Structure 1
Amino acid sequence: MYNKIFYLFLLTASLLHARDEFSSERILGIEVGYSGVNSLNEIGMSQLTNEVEAGLRIGAQNDEWRTTIVANFMKAEGRYYQKVMLDFDRFVWASLYETDSIVFKPFLGAHVGWLRYTEASSLGDNGLAYGGQMGLALNVLNEVDFDLSYKYTLTNMKSVDNMDSVVFGVNYIY
């Protein structure tokens, strides 16, 4: 119970800080990715499961930083995975020439959040998830940008060791 209160407080404080720092652009987006989950099966053997994941994101950004809250969902071999993450990305470089019709913005970042999985046999687990990401954001229009990223996530759960994902996202900037 205290963990949930702590994470809710952390999320609220981060959002309030993001609102003050990143008031220039807010984003709302969707993402689709291909994920690999390294987990333990019923008899304790390590297994790698690959499947498609989908999610929603909301956040804020400026020329240097992007902060988002991401909720992802995936079903793989009878297991349902739900992730809620707070992502922090730092834009490394941006092509901001007046003649550019597409702005390229590579980024590096980190994420922390909560991972939960349930099985068809009503077994399940949840715990802390954290990791890093890198990718490339493409600003094509003033209101839309696309990004392609790789995310690596570790957990503190006994049954799920790590996840890696290649993710494509579309963001509406308002």
Structure 2
Amino acid sequence: MFNKLSLTAILLTSSIYAKDSFSSERFLGIEAGYGTIKSTSVIEESREQQGVEFGFRIGAQNKKWRTTISGHFFDKKGQQYLKTLLQFDRFVWSSHYETDDIIFKPYIGAHVGWVYYTNELNQATNGFVYGGQAGITWNVLKEVDFDFGYRYSLSDVSRVSGIGGFVFGVNYLY
């Protein structure tokens, strides 16, 4: 019994100190972008459709890492997808100096998720999606940062060979 109480006390104490060492900012954001979906038709004809993509994101970040859960929607000439991603980004550099009013942080990262795709004949399929992203985040206010990047995804969905696009996002840090 004493060992269990001691172990519990040690774990609670260490988690309190760990919270101070690994604190993070949570954020909630929206994004819009210009995306491209590469697919094949029923008769195996390659096609590429470009259009506007909208999404939302929620996550946490510290000085070195950012983790995000996001959802994205694309609809252009009958081709639609709904994509949910778990993203991991590493900030490779930060311009954080005491004299800086605006902080720039370039990042590179990877993502995994799920995509639900519907073609122009209203045939739906879904599957696993994975890929990478790179971009820059700049913090202009204490509570707001902007994000501009490029994200490319590969998929195991039979008619989708790739989804890519430039994305601009606004995050509220809380």
TM-score (norm 1): 0.85
Instruction: Give unmatched runs, 5+ long, in structure 1.
Output: 1-18
Distance in 1 between the 2:155 and 2:116 partners?
10
Distance in 2 between the 1:172 and 1:28 partners?
5
1:148 aligned partner:
148
Tell me the number of residue pairs that the alignment of Structure 1 and Structure 2 aligns. Answer: 156
1:6 aligned partner:
none
Distance 1:21-1:72 versus aligned 2 partners, 3 A rule: farther
Distance 1:20-1:59 versus aligned 2 partners, 3 A rule: farther
Distance in 1 between the 2:76 and 2:112 partners?
22
Distance 1:69-1:20 versus aligned 2 partners, 3 A rule: farther
What per-residue deviation string (whole Å, max 9, x for no partner) do you get for residues 71-109 of structure 1?
Answer: 000102112210000000000000111110100000000
1:127 aligned partner:
127
Counterpart of 2:110 in structure 1: which amino acid? A
Instruction: Give unmatched runs, 5+ long, in structure 2.
Output: 1-18
Distance in 1 between the 2:173 and 2:113 partners?
24
Distance in 1 between the 2:28 and 2:37 partners?
26
1:3 aligned partner:
none
2:25 aligned partner:
25
1:49 aligned partner:
49
Distance in 2 between the 1:78 and 1:22 partners?
45
Distance in 2 between the 1:20 and 1:131 partners?
32
The Cα shift of 1:42 comes to 2.7
2:137 aligned partner:
137
Counterpart of 1:108 in structure 2: which amino acid? I
Distance 1:21-1:69 versus aligned 2 partners, 3 A rule: farther
Question: SS of the residue aligned with 1:158?
Answer: coil
How many percent identity over aligned positions?
53
1:40 aligned partner:
40
The Cα shift of 1:41 comes to 1.5
2:90 aligned partner:
90
The Cα shift of 1:122 comes to 3.2
Counterpart of 2:69 in structure 1: which amino acid? I
Distance in 2 between the 1:20 and 1:101 partners?
25
Runs of 4+ residues over 3 Å off in structure 1: 19-23, 119-122
Distance in 2 between the 1:121 and 1:49 partners?
15
Counterpart of 1:122 in structure 2: which amino acid? N
What per-residue deviation string (whole Å, max 9, x for no partner) do you get for residues 101-158 of structure 1?
Answer: 1000000000000011124543111000000000000000000000100011000111
Which has the higher Rg, Structure 1 or Structure 2? 2
Counterpart of 1:155 in structure 2: which amino acid? S
Question: SS of the residue aligned with 1:149?
Answer: strand
Distance in 2 between the 1:124 and 1:143 partners?
40
